[in-house]
Amino acid sequence: MREMKPTCDPNGVYSVKRVCAELGISYKTLRKYRKSGYIKPLNPGNVYRPKYSGQSIIDCWHVLCTL
Q: Phi/psi of residue 53, each to 5°?
A: -80, 155
Q: What pLDDT is stored for residue 56 in this prediction?
A: 97
For 38-54, what is each residue's pLDDT tens digit? Answer: 999 999 999 899 999 99
pLDDT along the chain (67 residues), means of 10: 94 97 97 97 94 98 93
The SS3 call for residue 53 is: strand
Q: What pLDDT is stored for residue 53 in this prediction?
A: 98
Q: What pLDDT is stored for residue 67 in this prediction?
A: 84
Length of the chain: 67
Contacts of 9 (CB under 8 A, 6+ apart): 54
Question: Which residue blocks in 24-53 are alpha helix, DSSP H?
Answer: 27-36
